[in-house]
Structure formats: C-alpha cells, structure tokens
Amino acid sequence: VCFSYHVLIRSRSCAAFCYRTVEVDMPGQRRDDEASQLEGQPLGSQWSSKDNYYSVLNMPPGRPKSALSNYSNLTPWVRGLFFCHTYFAYVYTFYMFVLAFYKGYALQYPPGRQTWEMVLIMVLPAMQHLRFFFGHWGNELGRPHDLFAFMLFGTMTMLVLMYFLFYQAYIMPLDTSYLTIAVFIVAVEGICGIINSLQTMKLMSLSVCQISMLLISMTSLLGVITFFFLKELLPTEAWVEQYQIMKDAH
C-alpha cells in the first residue's frame, strides 16, 4: 500500500510539472505558432495583406507573381500579340540593318546623318526588349510602375519607328510597308496598356507622383498615336527639288 501511495504521489507531481511546463513561453514558440497557423492557408492568402508591390522587380524571387486584388487583364489577347510581335520585331530590325547598309553604300548621305540613323537602329532592339518585359508583367499583374515603364518605352519605340517611316534620309517602298505595320502594332499594344492602367488607378491607392507618372505616360502615348494616324490619313505631298540646267549659248 505504501509503495502504491508513493507512486500515486509521484505521478501527480509529474502531471502537475508537465502541465506547468506547457504553459511556459519558450523562445521562438510564438513564431512557430504563427508558422503552423499559416501552413494550412493557401499561399496567396498568406501574402495578401503584404501586397504593397508597385513593380514586378520589387517582388521577392522564388514566389509566384501575384496580381492586384480584384484585378484582371482586360485585354487578355495581348499575350498572343506580344508573342507574335517579338518575332516580327526581329525580322523588320534585320531588314532595317540591311537596307541601312545598302543605302550607305549606294547613296550619298548628308554629313553625320548615316551615323545617327545607325545608332537609332541599334538602340531599337533594347527598347523593344524592355517594352515587351514591362508590357507582359504590367498587363498581367496591374502594377503601376510596370505599366508606366511599358507606356514610356512604347512612346519612345513609336517615335523611333515613325522617324524611319516619315523622316529618314531615304525612304524606300519596303520601308513604308513593314514600318507602317510595326507602328500600328505598337499603338495597339499601347492602348491595351492604357486600358489596364485606368483599372489600376481605380483599384490601387496611389500617391500623387504615381498618378502623375501614369497620366503623363498615357497622354504622351495617346499624342504619338494620334499623330501617327493623322500622318497616315491626311494626304501627303511629294516634294521634288527642281534644278535649272544652264546651257551654253553656243
């Protein structure tokens, strides 16, 4: 009886001791509890409260890229247009290089004009790559800085292409055909960016500087698009220089 009594007392003391040790807050226990609570939740809901990214470049690597809450790409067909345009951009950039070398060999340029046009052709692929990158993520995720960069590079790309379409030193019929298509495609993609930018401004609380950036990029892009369509639709005049040949009186 005495042995069983001592065993009973010892078991009660162990139970009380175990009960007390469970209530003690050990170092790091609170973080473990929070982690265990987040394990059962989906990954998107874990980071929804911390969704304050303004660009895809600010998002942590290794995690799926998430769009704004209640955001959806209003022009989903622009993905296929981006895909086809990447190949078309390589093709007409190659033709621009070939024709530029041919013109420099066969025709006489004004001083410094050929170098300037070659520099513009070499800068064009870099602008196109940046425009495709920010255009894809900006239209898919709705981040304001990506959309701003997309419309800014779209404006710059259209200006370069329109220079070669309307104002380069020697314009050939082949230049007119593929450059008109190229400028039109960039304009359509830019309009898609403007539509999604308006949705982002409605869904996300932006600062005055961010709103001004988006408005400036949208206004400049719309201005360049309007100038392109006016230049194409209005009748053009051919300027022909006249030379008077002096003949001898003999």
**Each residue's pLDDT tens digit in the chain (250 positions)?**
444 444 444 444 444 444 444 444 444 444 445 445 544 544 444 444 456 789 999 888 888 888 888 899 999 999 999 999 999 999 999 999 999 999 988 988 888 899 999 999 999 999 999 999 999 999 999 999 999 999 999 999 999 999 999 999 888 888 999 999 999 999 999 999 999 999 999 999 999 999 999 999 999 999 999 999 999 988 765 444 443 444 444 4
Nearest to 162 by CA among 232, 89, 240: 232
* CA 132 vs CA 12, 75, 241: distances in Å: 71, 15, 42
CA nearest to 128, candidates 100, 96, 160, 99: 160
CA angle 203, 207, 213 (to 5 degrees): 90
Instruction: Output the pLDDT for position 66.
Output: 85
The model's pTM: 0.74
Q: What does the pLDDT read at residue 139?
A: 96
What pLDDT shows up at residue 67?
Answer: 87
Q: Do 100 and 168 meet the contact criterion of CB atoms below 8 Å apart?
A: no
What pLDDT was estimated at residue 9? 41
Give residue 13's pLDDT. Answer: 45
The pLDDT assigned to 118 comes to 94
- Provide CB contacts within 8 A for 230, sequence distance 6+: none
Nearest alpha carbon to residue 194 among 216, 162, 175, 167: 216
Kindly list the distances between the CA atom of residue 130 and the CA atoms of 56, 121, 147, in Å, as whole numbers in the listed order: 13, 15, 12
- Residue where the block lists tokens 């890229």: 65
- Using DSSP's 3-state secondary structure scheme, residue 79 falls into helix
- Among 149, 122, 129, 148, which residue's Cα sits nearest to residue 206? 148
